[in-house]
Structure 1
Amino acid sequence: MPDSPNIALVRRLYDSAMAPDVVAEVIDPGIVWDITPGFPYGGVYHGWASAGSDFFGRLAPGFAAFGGVGEEFYDAGDHVFVRGHYHAVSKSGEASDARFIHLWTVRDGKLTHLVQAADSHVVQQALNG
C-alpha cells in the first residue's frame, strides 16, 4: 500500500536527513517546533529560523553526528505520528541511540507543527560523554 500524501511528505524529510533543499520545500517557515523538557535545549521554538539557529545551532556542535531515523509512520488525518530513534555519535566517538515519538501537523502540504517526546536521558549522556 502506498503512503498517504501526508506520510510521504514527512517520510521525505527523514529520508533526506534534513537536507536544506527538502527542509525548504516541506517545512512551513512559521513552524512551531516543540521539544520536550529535559532534552538538550528543550523548549518551544517559533519559526524555522529559530528552530534552526536556537535549537539545532546549539545541539549539533555538541556531537560528531546526530540525526533522526523514522521507523514507523502513522497517518491520523492532519497529523502524522513517527516512531523512531535518534542516532548520535559523541565528540569522543561513542555511538548511542535514543527512541523518539514525533507528532507532525500538516497544513496545505507543509509541516506546521512538531511535538517531540524522546528519551532525553540517553541524549544528555551522549552530549556529555
Structure 2
Amino acid sequence: MTDSPDIALVRRFYASGTAPEVTAEILAPDIVWDITPGFPNGGTHHGSDSVARDFFGPLRPNFEAFGPVPEQFYTDGDHHVFVLGHYHAETKRGITADVRFIHLWTVRDGKLARLVQAADSHVLRQALNG
C-alpha cells in the first residue's frame, strides 16, 4: 500500500534528521509543538523559531546522539498522522536509552502544523541523571 501524502510528509520529517533546509520547507511557520510535561524542554512551543531555539537548542547539548526512530504510521484520513516509535538517546556520559513515544501530527496545507507528543519522560530523565 502506498503512503498517503500526509504520511509521506511525516516520513520526510523523520528521514531529514531535522535538517534545517527540510524543516524550513515542511514545518508551518506557526507550528504548535506540544511536548509532554516532564520531558526535557517540555511544554508547548509556538512557531518554528521557538521549536528550534527553545526545544531543540537546549536539548541537543545534553546528548552525543538523540533522535526519533519511527516504527508505525497511521492516518485517520482527516490530515492526522499517528506515529509509534522510540527515541534513541546517548547522553554525554555514554548512557543510552530507548524511550517510547507516540506522535500525533496535524497536516495543514501540505505542511506540518501541529505535533502532540507523549513519551516516557522518566526513562529519559534517568539516563540524563544517571
TM-score of the pair, normalised by structure 2: 0.96
How many pairs does the alignment contain? 129
Unaligned runs of 5+ in 1: none
**Which amino acid is 2:51 matched to?**
A
Structure 1 distance, partners of 2:123, 2:48, is 25
The answer to whether 1:45 aligns with 2:53 is no
TM normalised by structure 1 equals 0.96
Aligned to 1:72: 72
| 1:119 corresponds to | 120
Q: Please give the secondary structure, in 2, of the residue aligned with 1:51.
A: helix
Q: Stretches of 4+ moved more than 6 A in 1?
A: none
How far 1:25 sits from its partner (Å)?
1.3
1:54 aligns with 54
Please show how residues 12-27 of structure 1 align to structure 2 within 5 Å. 12-27=12-27
**Which whole-Å deviations, capped at 9, do the CAs of 1:3-56 have from their partners, x for residues lacking one?**
000000000111111111111111111100000111111100000101111111
- Match in the other structure for 1:93: 94
Deviation by residue 1:58-94 (Cα, 9 ceiling, x = unmatched): 1111111111111100011210000010000011112
Letter in 1 for 2:34: D
Identify the residue that residue 104 of structure 2 maps to in structure 1. 103
In structure 2, the residue matched to 1:9 is 9
User: How many percent identity over aligned positions?
Assistant: 67
Residue 129 of structure 2 corresponds to which residue in structure 1? 128
Q: Distance in 2 between matches of 1:68 and 1:105?
A: 18
Unpaired segments ≥5 residues, structure 2: none
